[in-house]
Structure 1
Amino acid sequence: MYVINLTYIVPLEQVDDALEAHRAFLNEQFEAGVFVAAGPKVPRDGGVILAVNLEREELDALLATDPFAQQKVARYDVTEFKATRLAPGLNLPVPA
């Protein structure tokens, strides 16, 4: 599992210009079962994504296709961890 911390590196107006395409990218990854949570940080200086079921190299290649990366509006910091406990009722996809 990965925690992807996005930090905006341009003014919010430029982020907003890329937001619709970024959301379409997120939707594709949710449908593919790769992303399991995503949303903006508070205050809105970036966002956070949780990703599962892929190798780090695959994740890096995938993130390079994000419109935020392609338009150079955000920096990505990725942390890998192994979830050993989940809250009752929370189910995550099992690695293949």
Structure 2
Amino acid sequence: MFLTMVNYIQPLEVVEHYLEEHIQFLDKYYDLNKFIFSGRRNPRVGGIILMNAVSEQEVETIIAEDPFYIHNIARYEIIEFTPTKYADPFQIFINDTPNIG
């Protein structure tokens, strides 16, 4: 599983200009069951995306389709982690990982 921190490097006016395209990008990967949650950071300096991907290479391939990446609006920090403790309803996102809490 991967947590991706999106850090804006352009003013919010530029972010807003590409926001609808970014939302379409998000929708695509929610439909493919690759994204678990996403949202704006507070203060609004970027966002967070939790991805259910199999490798960092897959994450990088997905990010390369984000309009924020394509138009050099944001930088991305990719953090890989293995969930070892989680709420029971979260189990549907975990692939072959027992809740050893």
Q: Which TM-score bucket, shorter chain as reference?
A: over 0.9
Amino acid at match of 1:37: F
Q: CA deviation at 1:53?
A: 3.2
Q: Give the corresponding residue for 2:66.
A: 66
Provide the aligned length of Structure 1 versus Structure 2: 96
| CA distance in structure 1 between the aligned counterparts of 2:40 and 2:25, rounded to whole angstroms | 15
| CA distance in structure 2 between the aligned counterparts of 1:95 and 1:88, rounded to whole angstroms | 13
Give yes or no for contact 2:6–2:75 (8 Å, CA) kept in 1. Answer: yes
- SS of the equivalent of 2:38 reads strand
Using structure 2 for the length normalisation, give the TM-score. 0.88
| CA distance in structure 1 between the aligned counterparts of 2:76 and 2:34, rounded to whole angstroms | 16
Structure 2, unpaired ranges of 5+ = 97-101
Using structure 1 for the length normalisation, give the TM-score. 0.93
| CA distance in structure 1 between the aligned counterparts of 2:52 and 2:2, rounded to whole angstroms | 6
With a CA cutoff of 8 Å and minimum separation of 6, indicate the structure with the bigger relative contact order.
1
Structure 1, unpaired ranges of 5+ = none
Structure 1's consecutive aligned runs of 4 or more residues displaced over 2 angstroms after TM superposition are: 88-96
| CA distance in structure 1 between the aligned counterparts of 2:95 and 2:55, rounded to whole angstroms | 10
Give yes or no for contact 2:2–2:53 (8 Å, CA) kept in 1. Answer: no
How much identity, in percent, do the aligned residues show? 33
Structure with higher Rg: it is 2
| CA distance in structure 2 between the aligned counterparts of 1:3 and 1:60, rounded to whole angstroms | 12
Q: Give the corresponding residue for 2:79.
A: 79
